[in-house]
Amino acid sequence: MTKIFLTRMIPGPALKELKKRKSLQIDIYEKDQKISHQELLKRVKGIDILIPLLTEKIDAQVMDAAGPQLKLISNYSVGFDNVDLEEAKKRGINVTNAPCCESSESVAEHAIAFIFALSHRIVEADAFVRSGKYKGWDPNLLTGTDLLGKTVGIVGSGRISSAIARRLHDGFGVKIIYTDIKRNKDFEKAYKAKYKTKEQLLKEADVVSLHVPLLPSTRHLISTKEFKLMKKTAFLVNTSRGPIVDELALIKALQKKQIGGAALDVYECEPSIDCNPRDNYELRKQPNVILTPHIASSTIEARQMMTTVVVKNILAYLNKKSLPNKVA
């Protein structure tokens, strides 16, 4: 009997595929909330396969609590910074993530919604009307900026970056520049994208959108020095992982009006939107900041497909095939 533990129910019909297999015993955490660390340590005992969410830190302690028979961690998430890959490798545990076309498209749509909402001041305008401040048409009321002809700087050139570049280049007359650890000629060709160093990109972009994984090398990729390079009118969009932006430096840059605004779906000290409560949740007070609760890939299409990918990874493992989304 192969034992599987799923830390919270996930959407879509794909789980049925596992449930109908008699050789599998599937235990699902019954509450619709994040499992506590203590409960997680109890429930993983003796399992062969773990399906965690990005909200669970899967470290040596969890792997030890599971036992040496744990051989697969099939993460229900594209990002895998919640899993200690080194510890997994040491123990011979395979780790897979759940990238899929649908979730890349959803994150791209969310990032683009952010870009338009910032440049047309949609969230500010909505608050303005709701609070009863609208008293009549005014040529200078909540003036925004057009995106047409502007330059969007994309950090990363993977699936999500491509989905953004395709839409912006083909549909909105936007110039695309990008930076990455190495040049991506296909990306350049497909979207007439120009490769830049990070510094050049920050200087030239009207919008900077971040699409890189959280790694030691990308932590605080955007900090004080980087904000100083950005245009005073530029917007920062982060739908990747919070710690890629130094949040305190962002707050300072906004207060000093070093940049034009920011839209964040992820936070450095998630789920808190402020690492240091003494800062009094400064981000919330900025009118030119849009905040969403880590939902960039939260669409029916993406969430269901992520379950399908998790199941595919498990089936490949059970059938002794090579794992399609192995990250360790």
Nearer to ligand DGY, 77 or 157 (CB): 77
Those residues with Cβ within 8 angstroms of residue 116's Cβ, 6 or more apart along the chain or in another chain: 122, 147
Task: Please list the residues that pair with 94 across neighbouring strands.
Answer: 72
Task: Answer yes or no: 241 catalytic.
Answer: yes
Q: Which of 10, 73, 78, 176 binds ligand DGY (CB under 6 A)?
A: 78
Q: Which of 2, 77, 157, 313 binds ligand DGY (CB under 6 A)?
A: 77
Is there binding between residue 244 and ligand DGY (CB under 6 A)? no
Strands 235-238 and 207-210 come out as: parallel
Is there binding between residue 54 and ligand DGY (CB under 6 A)? yes
From the candidates 43, 226, 241, 247, which is the catalytic residue?
A: 241
Is there binding between residue 297 and ligand DGY (CB under 6 A)? yes
Stretch that binds ligand DGY, among 77-85, 129-137, 138-146, 311-319 (CB under 6 A): 77-85
CA atoms within 13 A on the CB side of 16: 4
Nearer to ligand DGY, 119 or 297 (CB): 297
| Contact characters 86-105, ligand DGY, x per CB under 6 A | -----------------x--
Which amino acids are annotated catalytic? 241, 270, 294
Q: By the criterion CB under 6 A, which residues form the site for ligand DGY?
A: 54, 77-79, 103, 297
